[in-house]
Amino acid sequence: MPSDTPTRPDPAARPIVWLLEDSPTEARATQAALASACDVAVFPDGAVLVEALGIQTPPDVLVLDRETPGLTGLEVCAFVRSIPATARIPVLLLTSHQSPEDVVEGLGAGANDYVFKPFRAQELVARVLGLAHWSRQQRQRETRVTKELDTHRQSLSDEQARRTLAESALEEVRAAELRAWNSEQRFRLAARATQDAIWEWNPQTDTLEWSSGGQDLLGPLDDPRVPRLDWWRRHIHPEDLAAVQRGFSEAIEGGDDVWRGSHRFRDAHGAWRDVEEHALIVRDEAARVVQVVGALRDVTARKQLEQEARQRGDFERQLIGIVSHDLRSPLSSVLLSSTLLLERAGLNDSQQQRVHRIRTATERAVRMIRDLLDFTQVRHGDFPLKLQGADLHALVETAVEEAQTRAPGRVFQVTSAGDGAGTWDADRLSQVVGNLLGNALTYGDPDAPIQVRSLGTVDTVVLEVHNAGAPISPELLPRLFAPLERGTPHQADRSDRSIGLGLFIVRQVVHAHGGTVSVTSTEEAGTTFTVRLPRQPPASPPASPPG
């Protein structure tokens, strides 16, 4: 049962509010916030509140918690709107759900207003008093009209007919006022939910009408109906004005139903904001423009974040470029010197082994630098291809020869079949083959051969690289091609492991060519990477797959 349900006093007294709230703590907090201005009855259960509406004098305002056990606030609101005797009671929903979809759902159920939890007491009181004031004005108006009807019906010759007609007219007035109120409330709440400034332009009167969101952006307006479209134009940045006017005029004169614009807009403090506008153009049967309704959204913060991200990206690219350039020169010298030393006679086995280790480590460092540069390019959407005629079979043979030089003790079994020709970036495909071979060398069984197969079909070519050894763990497989992912520590000696970008680069290169790459790995069959490439890449490169 409700706590201390008050009866409605005379119109000058405090408003009566019924509160639906199942949480005792929140009920006390809400009741305390409203206690200074309203008489509040608390209902912990929606069914009890609905029953009370049928047997007691209705309140001035219903304040309903959106989510309650049993009959929810939304369901109570919908029930209230479905009964003629209670349809005009203002309803305010309390909710912690702030998404536009939730607001729309509440408005669809018939709510007049929304207050989001946690609420400010001043805002809640102001909104409840506003609804109560409107409710009492409606009742006073109905009472006045009823009295006037009672006075005049005495002089009417056909009392019953006139009374029926008058009461019908009164009901129509009530319904029209209720529709107007709900329409205005929904417009205002929709503007609040989207955080946009909603505007309407009347071409016949050349006037603009702004929602409250517009005043948040533009500052307080003496009259929300600002005369003439020139006012809007004066707030657009001079450098953007010509393009905006041209686009708007073309949409109006070209018969379009939609106009979109992006520009800088001067706010009430004289500062320039980045905004986006989207408008619907309403036309009559003769295709004349009768109304334009639009939304203006402040995207300044988003633009600033985008600019900061671009600046960070530029700095990152410059830094990695400088570091890689400064590292490549000494690494090239080390690589050349180690190669010359290996070609000299007179080195014993121990010395040759040490020099070979130096060259291998240097080659690995060079590959790491290349992978870092490629990773940076991919992250910033800069991964161009230099397409030309190439042969996959030849690229595989060259890559295997280079891998054999790095690992002279390993066995490679190479087979090829069909036509291997296509239009690709030969350097990038060599990088794909090299990375897959390097992965097999690092994680495969050192005593088992690495099998490399290239096959040409009608429209595609296929590359397969297989190695025996411990399988890739099922937990790692889904993210194997993500950046900075590497095999488990037991699969490779730490000195041979990469920085985890090789397979990421493989997928990016293959995807840029319009192809696919996949992997299967089991204890019995070993690990096989399969690359499928179209002979001719797509005209426009597809978007990079997620990293």
Give 131-190 pLDDT, tens digit per residue: 888 888 777 777 776 676 666 655 555 555 555 655 665 565 555 555 545 545 555 555
182 is written with which tokens? 């709900």
C-alpha span between 62 and 56 (Å, rounded): 14
Write phi, then psi, for 448 (nearest 5 degrees). -110, 150
- Mean pLDDT over residues 47-54, rounded? 90
Q: Tokens 């990773």 map to which residue? A: 375
Supply the pLDDT for residue 9.
43
In 107-231, beta strands by DSSP E: 113-116, 197-202, 207-210, 225-227
Average pLDDT over residues 501-529: 91
Condensed to tens digits (0 to 9), the pLDDT of residues 87-108 reads 889 999 898 876 767 777 777 7
Statement: residue 223 has pLDDT above 50: no
Rounded to a whole number, what is the largest CA-CA distance in the chain? 134
Percent of the chain with pLDDT over 90: 27
Structure tokens given for 215: 């005043």
Asked if 80 and 71 count as a contact pair (C-beta separation under 8 A), the reply is no
Residue 7's pLDDT band (boundaries 50, 70, 90)?
very low
Is 210:185 a contact under the CB 8 Å cutoff? no
Q: Among positive and negative, which fits the CA dihedral 326, 332, 335, 340? A: negative
Please state the φ and ψ torsions of residue 44, each to the nearest 5 degrees: -80, -10
Residues 205, 229 contacting (CB under 8 angstroms) = no
Distances (CA, A) of 18 to 27, 58, 116, 124, 372: 11, 9, 18, 14, 65
More confident residue, 21 or 286: 21
Q: How many CB atoms lie within 10 A of CB 385?
A: 16
Domains of the chain: 16-191 (3.40.50.2300), 195-298 (3.30.450.20), 303-382 (1.10.287), 384-547 (3.30.565.10)
Using a 10 angstrom Cβ sphere, with 0-12 exposed, 13-18 middle and 19 or more buried, the burial of residue 314 is: exposed
Adjacent-strand bridge partners of 526: 522
Question: Residue 343: what pLDDT?
Answer: 77
Which pTM value belongs to this model?
0.43
Phi, psi of 245 (to 5 degrees): -60, -40
